[in-house]
Amino acid sequence: MLGKFLVYDGLNNGDAILFAGRVMAIVMALLTGVVIFFWVRRATNRDGPALVALALWAFNPNTLGYGHLANTDIGVTLGMTLAIYIFGRFLERPGLKPAAICGAATGVAMTMKFTALILGPIYVLALVLAWKRVKRPVVDLCKMAGAFLLVGWVVTLIVFLKWAAPAPPPTLAEQSL
């Protein structure tokens, strides 16, 4: 009842709101497919497996069934896929800039849906598995972890503070409606 009131209360164009939400969901589903394609192509150095992975994503029943709905599921799918891909690239070449980029991607995933908290254990497990390859001094690792956490926190704050800010008071013209 409240949702119907918020969308169709007479001041809003409910059909335009729902259409815009669905278009964004479709765009995010397509972008997830692009990330999957480039991830597999980078891992295999071939287009064939990347096209198969893209086809599996595109014809996945969940993608077909929910990829066009205006909800948070496809957004967190894009955010987590992108964050894990960027974290894998960070593990290949660790540094402050890749750590900051990974933090930003993780912050974006967190703003999509807090289900992205599962990225924490995934990152820890990946770090444990890649520990011998990442031969860096502890000080450098602490700096990278700090950059990752700071940028992820800032991205999350920017998104949530923008929406949490109080709305400006209505103008006289808006009050007369």
Q: Choose the most confident range, by mean pLDDT, from 8-17, 140-149, 157-166, 168-177.
A: 140-149
Backbone CA torsion sign across 59, 60, 64, 68: negative
Q: Which contiguous run of DSSP H or E holds residue 102?
A: helix 96-112
pLDDT value for 15: 82
CA separation for the pair 68, 50 (Å, rounded): 23
The yes-or-no verdict on residue 117 having pLDDT over 70 is yes
Q: Which of 27-31, 94-98, 139-143 has the lowest mean pLDDT?
A: 139-143
pLDDT for the residue numbered 174: 63
Q: What percent of the chain has pLDDT over 70?
A: 89
Which two three-digit tokens encode residue 23?
């278009």
Q: Find the mean pLDDT for residues 64-90.
A: 90
Burial 128-162, CB ≥16 within 10 A → b, else e: eeeeeeeeeeeeeeeebeebbeebbeebbeeeeee
User: 52 pLDDT band (50/70/90 cuts)?
Assistant: very high
